[in-house]
Amino acid sequence: MEVNFLKQQGNDELLPDNKQYREAIGKLLYISTLTHPDIVAAVGMLRRKIELPSKRDWNAVNRLAKYLNGTMHLKLKLPTSDKLRLVGYMDADWAGDTKNRKSTSGHLFFYDNGAVSWSSRKQETLALSSTEAEYISAAEACRQLK
C-alpha cells in the first residue's frame, strides 16, 4: 500500500462498474484470513471503498496482487519447540480514517513463533484520544484470546 493511503484525498475517477472490484476484495479477504497476515491491513483499507471504488483503489488492488504473486514462495510455518509460548502484539492508529475519524485496530498472535491469529479492522466506537484507541485495540485483542 502507498504510505498514508487513507489520508490521500483527491478527485479520483470512480470505476464505472464495481463488480470486478468486489470480486477481487472477496478473494483478498479469503487469502488474508487464511494464509497472509501481512496483507490484512491493506485489504481492510480497500474493503472500505467497496461501494464507490476509484481507479486509485483498483490500482492498489493490482499492486497487492503483484505483491502476492511475488511472495508466492513464502509460507507460514509452525515450528516445533520444547518451550511453547503464546506471544501477542496489538496496535492502533488514532483517527486514521479521515472521513469519520475512527481508528483502526490490529493484532497478531504467535504460538511457538508461528502466526496463529491476526486481525485488522476499523474500531466501532470513536476514540477521543490515542490512549483510548490503544485501549480499545487491547480489549479487542484480549477478546480474541478467549
CB 39 within 8 A of CB 2: no
The per-residue pLDDT string of the chain (146 residues; one tens digit each, 9 = 90 and over) reads 777 776 676 667 898 888 999 999 999 999 998 888 889 989 988 998 899 899 999 999 999 999 999 998 887 666 677 778 889 999 999 888 878 899 999 999 988 877 888 898 899 999 999 999 999 999 999 998 87
CB 127 within 8 A of CB 70: no
The H-or-E segment that residue 119 falls in is strand 114-122
The model's pTM: 0.65
Alpha-carbon Rg of the chain, whole angstroms?
A: 17
Segment 122-129 long-range contacts (CB within 8 Å, at least 24 positions apart)? 122/44, 122/48, 122/97, 123/92, 126/100, 126/101, 126/102, 127/92, 127/94, 127/95, 127/102, 127/103, 129/94
Instruction: List the helix and strand counts (H, then E) for the chain.
Output: 4, 3
In whole angstroms, give the CA distance from residue 123 to residue 137: 8
Please report, for the chain, the start and end positions of each structural domain, with discontinuous segments joined by +. Answer: 19-70, 86-145
Instruction: Kindly give, in sequence order, each residue whose CB lies less than 8 Å from that of residue 54, ignoring residues fewer than 6 positions away.
Output: 12, 13, 14, 15
For residue 24, how many other CB atoms are within 10 A of its CB?
19
